[in-house]
Amino acid sequence: MSKEIIEKAQLWLMGTIDPETKQQVQHLIENDIHELTECFYRNLEFGTGGLRGIMGVGTNRMNKYTVGMATQGLANYMKKTYPGQKVKAAIAFDTRNNSRFFAEVTADVLSANDIEVYLFDDIHPTPLLSFAVRELKCHTGIVITASHNPKEYNGYKVYWSDGGQLIAPHDKNVINEVNLINGLNDVNFNKKKENIINIGKTIDEAYVAKVKAASLSPAIIKQNNGLKIVYTPLHGTGVHLVPRCLKEYGFSNIIPVEAQYISDGNFPTVEYPNPEEAKALNLAIEKARAVNADIVMATDPDADRVGVACKNDKGEFILLNGNQTASVLIHYILHTLNEKNELKNNNFIVKTIVTTELLAAIARYYKVEIYDVLTGFKYIADLIKKYEGQKQFIAGGEESYGYLIGDFVRDKDAVISCCFIAEAAAWAASQNKSFYDLLLDVYMQYGFYKEHLLSITKKGREGSEEIALMMQNYRNTPPTEINGLKVTEIYDYKNSITTKLASGVTSVIDLPKSDVLQFVLADDTKITIRPSGTEPKIKFYFSVKAQLNSKADFDTVNLLVDKRIKDIIASMKLS
């Protein structure tokens, strides 16, 4: 074990931490060197989702002290950034174990540093934090959540005054301020009650009004208000606002998955509270079969992502992936705005570089500008801010089940997304179609795009080093051929260079640097490789395209593209 790790652990033993934590650290020193290493070998860092980690003792774990140090660093940065001003911050938290506690620790430290804190009085979705920052004209905001991660995790996401998550240079500057703290004694935990204001209902009302006003087809909803919608919050924060907003839209037949309406950070009915995981929707689909539902929606613990299931042409409930849901949403929104003559020359939509190119095809059809950004909704928020007052953001999405409609929130928002998914289903019903029919309509009109995500988990310090080596090898010795097809173009987002292999011509990528590689094949297949910013994983995204001429051909074409993806994975020796 390294001397550095022992020294970091001993600093905790000498600091002003509580006796129980000291006892746990001492136990690890004496009995579990491996776990001690995992707990102290690094400090938690901000990734695409902020600070996130397993709860426990140590600098590499989520606990009162790492939260306190991050908050002290944030407080120091905010006071330097806004000298002489009364800095304001909003704080929200989800249903995870210790989320309320970490929120209160955060409030204590900020208030102790003479920052005015608006603390939500109960669990709230992440998009409500983004909304509150803007509504209350705060300088920053924090939400305590680990999104869809397992129950052992928690997290700490920081937002800027525009309501978007921290991006450069603020994210690095906050970390720099944290690193300047010499020890736990530098953290001021002595809260000032007069600086903490409880919020909740007033913000809810303002948010719900905005969501309701965004509806595009209230008349169609009125005609199809009996649509059977099965909804589950997966024990998370969507439990109140999603059903409420659906009712505000006019839907009267919202069928709950009662066992999952219980707010519980142990997530007792699911292995992972992640709507991307098929098993997470098992109870909801069981309920949907029993009531013959039209559509199923499941939100993750902090209600910024939503998973969808619907009946296919055989009457079987199938799960849609994030690209499919995003495509139906964008198709519905742009089609409806076009029908109402409400599309403007300055409208735009946004997707991430790993999200389906089908969204670009839909945008081109309606002559709407589309932008690609790096993975992470914070980059979508930054683009909205960049063009504020010049161009109008309509909607955006990413393959990982996150969508946003309108710009009054600056992060992915499962609450308004659920409303628009239901509205699109009502629009389908008005044409005697299902949500699944809409998806096939999209494929036939714009092209059949299919994507697949392969995540490889590499835990701990050794795993991080292995992921770094894999990226280094792909970057230094990139493949020239994959699955019998030539690689025609390479996008290296870390070095900000695109290279056309046939000519050697390069061009600059005008995006922030990120450790991402993309290989484009001769048939326009796209393969993207990136380490996760929030999990110990390296992710491979595969995107292929085919032509779907009729709904009757779907199964055949689907099998063909599935085989192409499997062959690509095999040729890259990932299976």
Give the residue numbers annotated as catalytic, written as ranges: 147
Q: Strand 140-144 relative to strand 153-160: parallel, antiparallel, unpaired?
A: antiparallel
Q: Any idea which residue has 């019998």 for tokens? A: 484
- Phi, psi (deg, nearest 5) at residue 197: -120, 125
- Phi, psi (deg, nearest 5) at residue 508: -90, 135
**Three-state secondary structure of 65-129:** HHHHHHHHHHHHHHHHHCCCCCCEEEEEECCCCCHHHHHHHHHHHHHHCCCEEEEECCCCCHHHH
Q: Would you call 454 exposed, middle or buried from its count of C-beta atoms within 10 A (0-12, 13-18, 19+)?
A: middle
Q: Is 245 helix (H, G, I), strand (E, B) or coil?
A: helix
Identity of residue 195: N
CA distance 575 to 573: 6
User: What is the DSSP track for 349-365?
Assistant: EEEETTS-THHHHHHHH
Q: Any idea which residue has 């695109």 for tokens? A: 498
Instruction: Name the DSSP class of 375.
Output: S
Instruction: Name the DSSP class of 281.
Output: G
Query: CA nearest 96: which of 129, 143, 139, 57?
Result: 143
- Check: CB of residue 57 under 8 Å from CB of residue 17: no
Q: Any idea which residue has 């494929």 for tokens? A: 443
Residues, the chain: 575
Q: Is 500 helix (H, G, I), strand (E, B) or coil?
A: strand
End-to-end CA distance of the chain: 34
- Give Cβ neighbours of residue 274 (< 8 Å, ≥ 6 apart): 148, 149, 280, 300
> Where does 399-496 show beta strands of DSSP type E?
402-405, 448-457, 481-482, 485-492
- Check: CB of residue 178 under 8 Å from CB of residue 77: no
- Check: CB of residue 521 under 8 Å from CB of residue 485: yes
- Give Cβ neighbours of residue 445 (< 8 Å, ≥ 6 apart): 331, 365
